Structure 1
Amino acid sequence: MLEIRRATAADWDDVAGLFTRPGPRGGTPIPSQCWCQYWTSRGGGYWATDNDARLEEQLREGAVHALLAYRDGAAVGWCRLGPRTSFERLAHSRTLEPVDDLPVWSVVCFYVDPAAKRQGVASTLLDAAVELAREEGAPVLEGYAARPHHPNIDSYTGYLPMFLAAGFERVRDGGRRAIVRRQLGAPIR
């Protein structure tokens, strides 16, 4: 069974362990380079060598809204979300422009330990993200869903079928990603 909780500075070792844990074939996970900084900066800054320190500082300052999934005491998943305005790359995106003027929250990143993939971790994190955004007073939670089998796309924003199954609706195609939204007044599934 999964336990989902908000990530805090006290969870840093769990976050770092999750992001640097080699995959089943020994590969280095992408989060060990990005450290969930892609949406917080413009240009190539998200590949900076100090991204781990940046994320640790953001957690310490309480500047990150994120969730961790645990199974048997080990972190197996991560989800980052927050007000759309807190993600600089979104503010300047030409393909993911705002749909309207609502103060939406955005869910921008999922990372699941390769050994825990296809076990419902990302879907469970998405359900918890809906609840967290609702608790924080967001009227809408927005995602930038990857289309399965689309060439040249990373799946770290979550796949479209996962969002649709969680009650999100496609509101606009944004290039390689679809903008999906969930009104937060409705109960989860």
Structure 2
Amino acid sequence: MAQITIQPATADRFADAQHAWDNGGDGRGCQCQWWTITNAEWNTTSQPQRQELFRAEVDAGPPPGLVAYVDGEPAGWVRVGPRTRQRRLARTKNFAQSAEPWDDDSVWAVSCFVVRKEHRGEGLNDRLLAAAVDFAREGGARVIEAYPLDPAEGSKKGSSALFHGVVSTFVKAGFEEVARPRADLAIVALDLRS
């Protein structure tokens, strides 16, 4: 049986995050910057520039996410941290139905998953989400929110489009649906105080 460990994306794990993003969707090109910069900034940055933004984010800390390892090899990623550090979330019309104030640092968000193709179907998203919840709790989060897709609704989504995660993964982890901006998109939240 494979050994799975999950660690914070600290400066010494920068290359591991890069490896986890290879062969796993849009991670390499995005550098997990989609939610951290404005649309105008996104449109004027190249992949190498976004990589430098991610490096600066990791070097400055706190860790912006977690890296999953399967038998010591980087295999997956989840972005988790205060929602205020993911500026585009507040600017996304579909997320306006959030019940939480956008300027509250105690509200954290899980906004992105990447799993290398050869490790899909091994339950890594479940493990990454559980670790993200623990990480948020340890970081002082009051609430953790996410914006997963519901593949049972709407058109079939490719694996790259599922970077938000899927509703069933969050519900299984105890999150409650708080809004449904579109048939195939939910806002889910978990109160960490209880």
Q: Calculate the TM-score normalised by the size of structure 2.
A: 0.86
Q: Is 1:136 the equivalent of 2:136? A: no
1:109 Cα deviation after fit: 0.6
SS state at 2:18 partner:
helix
Q: Which structure: greater helix fraction?
A: 2
Q: Is 1:65 the equivalent of 2:67? A: no
Q: Calculate the TM-score normalised by the size of structure 1.
A: 0.88
Unaligned runs of 5+ in 2: none
Structure 1 counterpart of 2:136, which letter? A
Deviations 1:144-169 (A, max 9, x none): 01111533751101000000000001
Structure 1 counterpart of 2:5, which letter? E
| Residue equivalent to 2:155 | 151
Selected match of 1:181 from 183, 189, 193: 189
| Cα distance in 2 for residues equivalent to 1:119 and 1:60 | 30
| Residue equivalent to 2:28 | 32
| Cα distance in 1 for residues equivalent to 2:181 and 2:85 | 19
| Cα distance in 2 for residues equivalent to 1:86 and 1:128 | 19
Deviations 1:86-132 (A, max 9, x none): 11111212210231336311101110011101111011000011111
After TM superposition, the structure 1 = structure 2 runs for residues 1-80 of structure 1, keeping only pairs within 5 Å, are: 1-20=3-22, 22=23, 29-43=25-39, 45-46=41-42, 48-49=45-46, 50-80=49-79
Larger RCO: 1 or 2 (CA < 8 Å, sep 6+): 2
Structure 2 counterpart of 1:137, which letter? G
Deviations 1:20-65 (A, max 9, x none): 3x46xxxxx4111111011011215436311111111110111542
SS state at 1:40 partner:
coil
Q: Is the 8 A contact 2:21 2:76 kept in 1?
A: no
Q: Is the 8 A contact 2:100 2:107 kept in 1?
A: no
Q: How many residues matched?
A: 180
1:141 Cα deviation after fit: 0.7
| Cα distance in 2 for residues equivalent to 1:18 and 1:64 | 16
RMSD after superposition: 1.8
Q: CA distance change for structure 1 residues 34 and 141 in 2, over 3 Å: closer, same or farther?
A: same
